[in-house]
Amino acid sequence: MTNVPLKLPADYWLNFSISKRDIEFLQNYLFESEIPLDESELASLLVVERIRQERESLLKQQKSEGAAIYIPKESYSIGQKLSFPALNWRKGEVKSVRAGANHQIGAFDVLEMVFDDGSTRLFAAGLVEHALNNPPEETPDPHVDPVQIGLEYGENLSKNLEMVLQADDTLVKVAGLWFPRALLVDIGQGHLNLAEAVLEMAAGAPLSVAALMEQVDLPGGVNAKLTEFSINYALQEDGRFDEVGPRGQVLWCLKRLEPEEVQNVPAPLKYTPIEYDRATLTPQMLALEAQLDDELSDNEQKPLKSDEVTLTLSYPHWRAGTLPVSARVRNFFPTAYESARVRFILVDARTGEKIPAWVVREQGYVYGLKAWFEKNKLIPGAQVIVRRSKTPGEVILDPRTHRSTRDYVRTVLTGSDGGVVFALLKQELACDFHARMVTVVPDVAGIDQAVAQLARGRRTLEQTIHNVLQELSKLTPQGHVHAEELYSAVNILRRVPPAPLLVALANSPDITHVGDLYFRLSASASEE
């Protein structure tokens, strides 16, 4: 039989809608295979199945219309209906047959075909040598190639499938994997209490389900994968437990043993959203926003593909012992299918020390570095290299420290009245830093007090910017301050991402942009 070349419309996968039949197919597949699968695996299966269905339907259509597929080597008789693959499956009926006249080819017949539109054309039959006698393999149509479809539409298909599966009560999802609810092994309250005790003994260190299963007496005689999935599901549904493994790894922890700063955003990182008009941002401002790696920035930067990135520590992150997970550096840190918090290991590039850390995905920060910052004598504005590791679940950190030197750098001082002053003072420096972002903070408690006082006073962002700009202006002869310096200094007193700050700078009547993102207070404002 001729291989039917399937052609699907160009927008078939773009406008793909998942039917009840598709879901039934996936349910049956999961039932039969007894292997939990994620959305992308299920979407791949669905693509292959849909192509099979479409091909089957095309074949049925060809058969139901009673037309034989035209092949030049075959013989046909008057009245026979034929379908022509080379003419986009046009159908016609043999009206007459005569002998062909071509001594170079030899004996063959000529069919007079009448097509559905009434037109008449002649075709050869009984022709031994012709390309259509042995049709070449179907030319790969990208719309019927599962690999190509996966590359082009896979993400979209997986998202759509996830939405549909979530509305299906017969399936459950654990750590990104779907499985039929009916096949789950019953995990009782006693088993869960035992699991809690085991995790408590681990003192906050996450454990794999395999490690838990070793110590919890589970029902025997069941497929081990099924038992593992069932216990994962039972733990997920119990509020005491938290799944904290990176993508592809299921690790469990007790919620109450997780650090407070992982459960709730640390105070220095807390931001009260400010409304602003992004259209005000110039291309230069947008470029600066992208460069600053602020996790609160609402830009659409693509994650970096390189193996390392240099991050500059802002004061809020230095104070909280965290690193920002900006759009640019997102794929350097482990992610997860569902877990809001992912536990992983940071490795000191110089000492090899392993530091347990957490990615708090939604709020965009990595927690667990306070002691490491102190140990390496890092200051706000210090530069840290983040490097990918070949070991899964690990990320390498290089502090870029060096022997101490003394130099003049911007320093923030606090008065007993809660006031803040910036000055250039000689400080001991033991790390590389960003010249515009650096600020030494000798009195952290004093700053905490100033921050609290500022919050109580309900000062606007514009007022804070005005005051900080006035202070920083005193440090240069021209009184010009770069937006980066302002961003760094304002964030000591209140958390604000670059965009609202830059918009406030652009809109303030008292502030003049002198070029290249340098700003100064207008003469009247600076005299106030």
Partner 1 sequence: MSIVKPSLQTRFHIDFDWWRQNENDWHVHLRSLLCPEHEGAFSGQGVELMDFVDPETAEVHPMDGLQHTILVHCARQPGFVTAQTQLVEAVFRTFLANGNSPLSPVELAERLNRPANTILTTLAGPRVYRGLRPARE
Given 132, 342, 346, 499, the residue binding partner 1 (CB under 8 A): 132
**Phi, psi for 54 (deg, rounded to 5):** -65, -40
Q: How far is the CB of 289 from partner 1 (least distance, A)?
A: 45
With contacts defined by CB under 8 A, name the span among 124-132, 176-184, 398-406, 411-419 that binds partner 1.
Answer: 124-132
* DSSP secondary structure string for all residues of 26-42: HHHHHHHH---EEHHHH
∠ CA 174-176-181 to the nearest 5 degrees? Answer: 40
Q: Does 10 bind partner 1 (CB under 8 A)?
A: no
Provide, rounded to whole angstroms, the least separation between the CB of residue 79 and partner 1. 19
Map residues 39-78 to x or -, x wherever contact with partner 1 holds by CB under 8 A.
Answer: -------------------------------x-x------
Count of alpha carbons within 13 angstroms of residue 193, beta-carbon side: 3
Q: Does 346 bind partner 1 (CB under 8 A)?
A: no
Q: Write the single-letter amino acid at 118.
A: G
Binding partner 1 by CB under 8 A: which of 59, 107, 122, 421? 122
Select from 115-123, 328-336, 381-389, 455-463 the region that touches partner 1 (CB under 8 A): 115-123
Minimum Å gap between C-beta 125 and partner 1 is: 8
CA-wise closest residue to 238 among 204, 203, 191: 191
Sheet strands (E) in 4-156: 37-38, 68-69, 81-84, 90-99, 109-115, 120-125
> Does 114 engage in binding with partner 1 (CB under 8 A)?
no
Contact present, 170 and 187 (Cβ < 8 Å): no
Among 130, 225, 256, 270, the residue binding partner 1 under the rule CB under 8 A is 130
Which is closer to partner 1, CB of 123 or CB of 358?
A: 123
Kindly determine how many residues on this chain lie close enough to bind partner 1 according to the rule CB under 8 A.
22
Q: What is the smallest separation between the CB atom of 81 and partner 1, expressed in angstroms?
A: 17
3-state helix/strand/coil string of 385-430 = EEEECCCCCEEEEECCEEEEEEEEEEEEEECCCCCEEEEEEEEEEE
Closer to partner 1 by CB, 87 or 290: give it: 87
Q: Which of 18, 124, 202, 340 binds partner 1 (CB under 8 A)?
A: 124
Cβ closer to partner 1: 70 or 487? 70
Q: Residue 7 or 370: which CB sits closer to partner 1?
A: 7
DSSP conformation class of 382: B
Token readout for 386 is: 């983040």
* Integer Cα distance of 115 and 112 in angstroms: 10
The answer to whether residue 127 forms part of the interface with partner 1 (CB under 8 A) is: yes
Compute the residue count for the chain: 528
**97 binding partner 1? (CB under 8 A):** no
As a whole number of angstroms, the distance between CA 333 and CA 293 comes to 14
- Least Å distance between CB 119 and partner 1? 8
Q: Which is nearer to partner 1, 18 or 87 (CB)?
A: 87
Residue recorded with tokens 């849909």: 50
Half-sphere exposure of 93 (CA within 13 A, CB side): 8
Residues that bind partner 1 (CB under 8 A): 70, 72, 84, 86-87, 100-105, 108, 110, 119, 121-124, 127, 130-132
